[in-house]
Amino acid sequence: MSIPLYPFAEPRSLPEPLRLVLLGATGSIGEQTLDLVRRFPDRLKLTAVAVNQRWEDLARLLGDLEPLVSVGDPAARDAAAGAGVFGDRLLPGADATALAAAAEGDVLVNGIVGAAGLAPTLAAAARGWRIALANKESLVVGGNLVSAAVIAGGAEMLPVDSEHSALAQCLRGRRREDLDRVVLTASGGPFRETPAHQLANVTLEEVLNHPTWDMGPKITVDSATLMNKGLEIIEAHHLFGLDYADIDVVVHPGSWVHSLVVLRDGALLAQLGMPDMRLPLLYAITGEQRWPLPGERLDLLEVGRLEFEAPDTERFPCLRLAREAGEKGGTAPITLNAANEVAVAALLDRRILYADLPGLVSSALDRLPAAPVADLQAALAADGEARRVTLELLTDHDGTPTLRGNL
Q: pLDDT of 123-178, one tens digit each?
A: 999 999 999 999 999 999 999 999 999 999 999 999 999 999 999 999 988 888 89
Provide CB contacts within 8 A for 357, sequence distance 6+: 221, 225, 318, 340, 343, 344, 347
CATH of 18-160, one of 3.40.50.620, 3.40.50.720, 3.40.640.10, 3.40.30.10: 3.40.50.720
Whether 157 contacts 10, CB under 8 Å? no
Residues of each domain in the chain carrying CATH 1.10.1740.10 = 329-394
Predicted local distance difference test score (pLDDT) of residue 175 = 85
- Nearest-5° angle of CA 357, CA 363, CA 366? 145
Whether 325 contacts 233, CB under 8 Å? no
Predicted local distance difference test score (pLDDT) of residue 402 = 47
Type of residue numbered 130: R
| Crossing angle for the helix pair 227-240 and 217-225, to the nearest 10 degrees | 100
Q: What is the mean pLDDT of residues 196-211?
A: 90
Which among 111, 135, 118 is positioned nearest to 29, based on CA atoms? 111
Whether 104 contacts 120, CB under 8 Å? no
Helix (H, G, I), strand (E, B) or coil at 301: helix
Q: Which residues pair with residue 249 across a beta bridge?
A: 184
Whether 20 contacts 169, CB under 8 Å? no
**CA dist., res. 17 & res. 65, Å (int):** 15
Q: What is the mean pLDDT of residues 234-252?
A: 96
Confidence tier at 407 by pLDDT (50, 70, 90): very low
Phi first, then psi: what are they for 59, rounded to 5°?
-60, -40
Residue 2 burial class via C-beta count within 10 angstroms: exposed 0-12, middle 13-18, buried 19 and up: exposed
Whether 64 contacts 85, CB under 8 Å? no
Whether 182 contacts 246, CB under 8 Å? yes
**CA dist., res. 310 & res. 33, Å (int):** 33
Q: What is the mean pLDDT of the chain?
A: 92
Predicted local distance difference test score (pLDDT) of residue 211 = 75
- Is 404 a residue whose pLDDT tops 60? no
Predicted local distance difference test score (pLDDT) of residue 232 = 97
Query: pTM of the prediction?
Result: 0.92
Predicted local distance difference test score (pLDDT) of residue 2 = 43
The sign one gets for the Cα dihedral 342, 345, 349, 350 is positive
**CA dist., res. 125 & res. 127, Å (int):** 5
Q: What is the mean pLDDT of residues 218-232?
A: 95
- How many Cβ atoms are within 10 Å of 181's Cβ, its own excluded? 15
Confidence tier at 406 by pLDDT (50, 70, 90): very low
Q: What is the mean pLDDT of residues 91-105?
A: 93
Q: Which residues pair with residue 401 across a beta bridge?
A: 395
Alpha-carbon distance values, 295 to 42, 74, 276 (Å): 19, 39, 9
Provide CB contacts within 8 A for 187, sequence distance 6+: 210, 211, 212, 213, 223, 251, 252, 253, 255
Which helix (H) or strand (E) segment holds residue 62: the answer is helix 55-62
Predicted local distance difference test score (pLDDT) of residue 403 = 41
- Is 215 a residue whose pLDDT tops 80? no
Which among 146, 215, 206 is positioned nearest to 6, based on CA atoms? 146
Per-residue DSSP letter, 255: -
Provide CB contacts within 8 A for 311, sequence distance 6+: 186, 188, 226, 229, 249, 250, 251, 319
Q: pLDDT of 327-383, one tens digit each?
A: 999 999 999 999 999 999 999 999 999 999 999 999 999 999 999 999 999 999 999
Which DSSP string corresponds to 132-176? EE--THHHHHHHHHHHHHHHHHT-EEEE-SHHHHHHHHHHTT-BG
**CA dist., res. 7 & res. 75, Å (int):** 40
Confidence tier at 399 by pLDDT (50, 70, 90): low
169: left (phi over 0), alpha (psi -120 to 50) or beta: alpha
Percent pLDDT > 70 in the chain is 94
* Level-2 CATH architecture, domain 329-394: Orthogonal Bundle (1.10)
Which among 367, 359, 404, 400 is positioned nearest to 386, based on CA atoms? 367
Residues of each domain in the chain carrying CATH 3.40.50.720 = 18-160
